[in-house]
Chains A and B, each alone.
Chain A
Amino acid sequence: MPEYNRPTTEEELKANFGQLKPLMNATMAYYESSRCLYCYDAPCVQACPTGIDIPLFIRQINNGNVDGAAKTIYDSNYFGNACGKVCPTSELCEGACVYNKQDVKPIEIGRLQSFATQQAMASNKQFFKPGRPNGKKIGIIGAGPAGISCACELRLLGYEVDIFEAKSKPSGLAVYGCAPYKITNKEIFEEMDYLQGQFGYTIHFNHPITTREQLDEMEITYDAIFLAIGLGATNTYNLAGVDLKNCIGATEFIAQLKIDPLNTIVGKKVVVIGGGNTAMDAASESARLGAEEVILAYRRSKEGMGAYPFEYVLAKGAGVKGVFSVSPVSVEGKSTVKGIKLIRTEEDEKGYLSNIEGSEFVVDCDMVILATGQSKKTKFLSMIEGLKIDKRGRIKINSNTGQTNNPMYFASGDAVNGGAEVVNACGEAKNSARSIHRILLKHGTMKKKDQE
């Protein structure tokens, strides 16, 4: 018996994708916030990529100033609620909580964060308003966490901001990527509306920037351009059989599932290839969509997986089975997937991986999900004069300012860090926005060679 049955109604969906970090009620928040020690120079703050003053907001919750707590959070991170729910907190703030050293359960910082921000959102508390117009305009490509965070900060500083977004919805992979049991789409969009309502930036949806002409126009119109384009489609590495029906990239599978879960096709027996967080998500999600058997196949050992340990535990909890030290050879089948051929691998002391000759075997399955990493948008980036990318396709920036080698262009988020978390994109983008402001204040323009 599988852990989950195929959901056919909204209720069943909700049950299969129950929230891992459900909203706390006021009593829970009160008790939990009571436990905070209010550490000096607190390790949790240091562990947060956006540096939220965590002990302060927890104390504010405890003292009945929940709106003040929300303000503290949003001052550092515009995705306050989203991050509370999707951040890998056990690796970040909660992992740094000093209670861990006493083997006491760390403070549930993420849930407290969402408690405060959701309350502020529900009552539409206006913490921010746009700064006095300073006559300058910034163009942003991409309305994901990086693009939106940069836009908020720039509006605060008085800039006019236009965001160009290829898709029809804001928040990027927050909505098209993050697992539904971490956050609901409704919640994400509520926060997007909440921010837009306060900061008043313009988003041009269904408006991909794809040509040199569009970039030319942007370079004329704007005082600076911020690249928040994230990553591209799943890498398939020319694996034989990837074009078969029911062989799909993990990001594509997840994007579909996030928008239309009831009509997302899932196999009876699914093999997920990969060992990162996206692989864990895709595997968990397949199981929760009713797959009878989900196998996670990774080329190295269990310990070698890039995924956070808690993500693997979560996948196992949904009924996923791991198979390690196997590498895909080809996807088998005529028109649709019938199986996947794997080969066993071995790793030497240096971590170098080699296939064990003659060890191929086929696992029967009717769906293969490839979670083998996302591609970089190198083709698009090559259109921008002077822009440099590193060997792994990541945009090179001055890490203090976010400025690229083309002084007009700044960049943050997955496109720069190669794929991290929502919170990283938010923190980096806020910093870039401040640099844009600093440099424009100093030089009046980006167009000269005026990098900091």
Chain B
Amino acid sequence: MADLTTNLAGIKSPNPFWLASAPPTNSGYQVMKAFDEGWGGAVWKTLGVPVVNVSSRYGSVNYRDKRMVGFNNIELITDRPLKDNLREIEEVKKYFPNNAVVASLMVETKEQWHQIVKDVQNAGADGIELNFGCPHGMCERGMGSAVGQEPAVLQTIVEWVMEVAKVPVIVKLTPNITDITEPALAAVKGKADAISLINTIQSLIGVDIDNFVPYPIVDGKSTNGGYCGPAVKPIALNMLKNCAQAPGMNLPISGIGGIENWRDTVEYMLLGATNVQICTAVMHFGFGIIRDLTSGLERYMDEKGFKTTAEMVGKALPNVKTWENLNLKYKVTASIDKDKCVECQLCYTACEDGAHQAIGLPKDGSRVPYIIEDNCVGCNLCSLVCPVEDCITMERRDDGKEHETWKEWMTEDKAPTTFDDDRAGGKHHWVPKPTDALKH
């Protein structure tokens, strides 16, 4: 049976599932309830200076019948008094000594940082997370993402914290930056113990088109907020990969952003996350999802023969290359399984209008489309829109013997520089005459 325990820079927990610092970790009550249901750890809702929150606070993107595929908030750090939080941290640790309680912190001055680090250590926190990510409200006051966007400032604050830290320190990064590896490497330089990413992405969730105000509405007005939930996962995964592959990055990573199930978790770990943190999925479905998370992960690990979670970490990284290193001789084309086809013709219209006019319809009135091999560039689009599992598959057409990359072409001076060059991409692609569009 798979061993789910994890160790992030010395912070141990019975499984890799932590609650991210957010409303689900607002109080000792919630954290105890979560641990009782099986969560491995919790990053306490960010502690710091006094703040005031507005109402309303959240907005969401719904896609068809699915609610909250994207979620946005304009909430600040905790507004509960620090001493209440410290007392509750202590109490939680008493009941759950083996679960990870990490205190998320955000203050301004060196003195404040020193004081609050000591306070949470005294309360028994197993680790500290520095919130350099909040993209609204706090950054205007010189905190949160205002720090995360300035690698030098970030490094300085990390150094302040390290002066007094006795427990591992995690630096939480903001995605609102061109190159996330810069603050990540600043955290390394500051001697942090781990990084976590991502915090929310600066966003404007939508507009009330009757009253001309964006959401969420606060007395007829609104402001930008932070975006999270399933929609942000691909962005977070890319940033995770960038950090994990960055030369000089030697810290373990806690992955955050859009994680909702065991499959998401596995993807994060394969791209280099030691554990994961979850917020929106819990805000949507409650702590109970932990049962699905752990059982799914266990089953996957058993099936794949992973004994520990550590064995999975980074397994997919060697297969992430820069574009110039991809094999230009590899060729797939689409293939439609006639027996599975339900004749919706979505692949036809997708390829016809949105790709390469490589799918035809039978002239005899029957409805199963066919692939025009010569036109198919192997883009995957048809197989992605097809509503039937495994009906359109991409089949390999090259013999697998040739391997050439753009990078090799560049170094060998073989890269095409004119469109007449036989190696130039579009050269042999057939397209219909523009006026063929009007033949109907």
In the complex, identify which listed stretch (A29-37, A144-152, A249-257, A388-396) lies at the interface while the others stay far away: A29-37
Residue of A31, A41, A98 touching B65 (CB-CB under 8 A)? A31
Chain A residues within an 8 Å CB radius of B377: none
Complex CA gap A41/B345 in Å reads 7
B64, B346, B348, B349, most chain A CB atoms within 10 A: B64
Q: Is B416 an interface residue (CB 8 A)?
A: no
Q: Which residues of chain A from 29 to 61 have a CB within 8 Å of any chain B CB?
A: 30-31, 34-35, 37-43
Complex CA gap A361/B106 in Å reads 94
Q: Is the CB of A39 within 8 A of B65?
A: no
Given contacts A43-B367, A102-B388, contact A37 B65 (CB under 8 A): no
Mask: chain A, 93-131; 1 = CB below 8 Å from B; 0 = not: 000001101100000000000000000000000000000
B77 to chain A, nearest CB (A): 36
Complex CA gap A101/B368 in Å reads 13
Q: Is the CB of B346 within 8 A of A40?
A: yes
Chain A residues within an 8 Å CB radius of B388: 102
Complex CA gap A50/B361 in Å reads 24
Q: Which residue of B lies closest to A30 (CB)?
A: B65
Q: Is the CB of A37 within 8 A of B344?
A: yes
Chain A residues within an 8 Å CB radius of B345: 39-41
Complex CA gap A31/B67 in Å reads 11
Complex CA gap A389/B344 in Å reads 41
Chain A residues within an 8 Å CB radius of B387: 37, 98, 102
Mask: chain B, 345-359; 1 = CB below 8 Å from A; 0 = not: 110110000000000
Given contacts A40-B349, A102-B388, contact A34 B343 (CB under 8 A): no
B209 to chain A, nearest CB (A): 10
Q: Is B177 an interface residue (CB 8 A)?
A: no
Complex CA gap A181/B387 in Å reads 35
Complex CA gap A37/B64 in Å reads 12
Q: Is A62 an interface residue (CB 8 A)?
A: yes
Number of interface residues of A (CB under 8 A): 16
Q: Is the CB of B367 within 8 A of A34?
A: no
Chain A residues within an 8 Å CB radius of B246: none
B107 to chain A, nearest CB (A): 45
Q: Is the CB of A102 within 8 A of B342?
A: yes
Complex CA gap A101/B348 in Å reads 18
Complex CA gap A388/B120 in Å reads 97
How big is the B interface, by class?
10 to 19
Chain A residues within an 8 Å CB radius of B361: 41
A30, A34, A39, A40, most chain B CB atoms within 10 A: A40
Complex CA gap A2/B361 in Å reads 54
Complex CA gap A62/B66 in Å reads 12
Chain B residues within an 8 Å CB radius of A35: 65
Given contacts A43-B367, A102-B388, contact A34 B342 (CB under 8 A): no
A32 to chain B, nearest CB (A): 9
Complex CA gap A79/B151 in Å reads 67
Q: Which residue of A lies closest to B388 (CB)?
A: A102
Chain A residues within an 8 Å CB radius of B367: 43
Chain B residues within an 8 Å CB radius of A98: 342-344, 387
B342, B349, B387, most chain A CB atoms within 10 A: B342
Complex CA gap A40/B64 in Å reads 19
Given contacts A43-B367, A102-B388, contact A38 B65 (CB under 8 A): no
Chain B residues within an 8 Å CB radius of A42: 344
Chain A residues within an 8 Å CB radius of B64: 34, 62
Chain B residues within an 8 Å CB radius of A43: 343, 367
Complex CA gap A42/B348 in Å reads 12
Q: Is the CB of A37 within 8 A of B346?
A: yes
Chain A residues within an 8 Å CB radius of B65: 30-31, 34-35
Mask: chain B, 198-218; 1 = CB below 8 Å from A; 0 = not: 000000000000000000000
Complex CA gap A149/B64 in Å reads 35
Complex CA gap A42/B345 in Å reads 8
Chain A residues within an 8 Å CB radius of B348: 40
Chain B residues within an 8 Å CB radius of A41: 345, 361
B338 to chain A, nearest CB (A): 12
Complex CA gap A40/B354 in Å reads 13
Complex CA gap A43/B349 in Å reads 14
Q: Which residue of A lies closest to B64 (CB)?
A: A34
B367 to chain A, nearest CB (A): 7
A150 to chain B, nearest CB (A): 29
A67 to chain B, nearest CB (A): 15
B433 to chain A, nearest CB (A): 22
Chain A residues within an 8 Å CB radius of B343: 39, 43, 98, 101
Chain B residues within an 8 Å CB radius of A38: 346
B343, B344, B348, most chain A CB atoms within 10 A: B344
Q: Which residues of chain A from 137 to 191 have a CB within 8 Å of any chain B CB?
A: none
Q: Which residue of B lies closest to A63 (CB)?
A: B64
Complex CA gap A38/B361 in Å reads 17
Q: Which residue of A lies closest to B391 (CB)?
A: A102
Chain B residues within an 8 Å CB radius of A30: 65
Q: Which residue of B lies closest to A32 (CB)?
A: B65
Q: Which residues of chain B from 316 to 369 have a CB within 8 Å of any chain A CB?
A: 342-346, 348-349, 361, 367
Chain A residues within an 8 Å CB radius of B344: 37, 39-40, 42, 98
Top 4 nearest A-B pairs (CB, nearest first) are A34-B65, A40-B345, A40-B349, A34-B64
Given contacts A30-B65, A62-B64, 5 further A-B contacts (CB under 8 A): A34-B64, A39-B346, A40-B346, A41-B361, A43-B343
> A: which residues have CB within 8 A of B?
30-31, 34-35, 37-43, 62, 98-99, 101-102
Listed by A's residue number, 7 A-B pairs whose Cβ atoms lie within 8 Å are: A30-B65, A38-B346, A40-B344, A40-B348, A41-B345, A101-B343, A102-B388
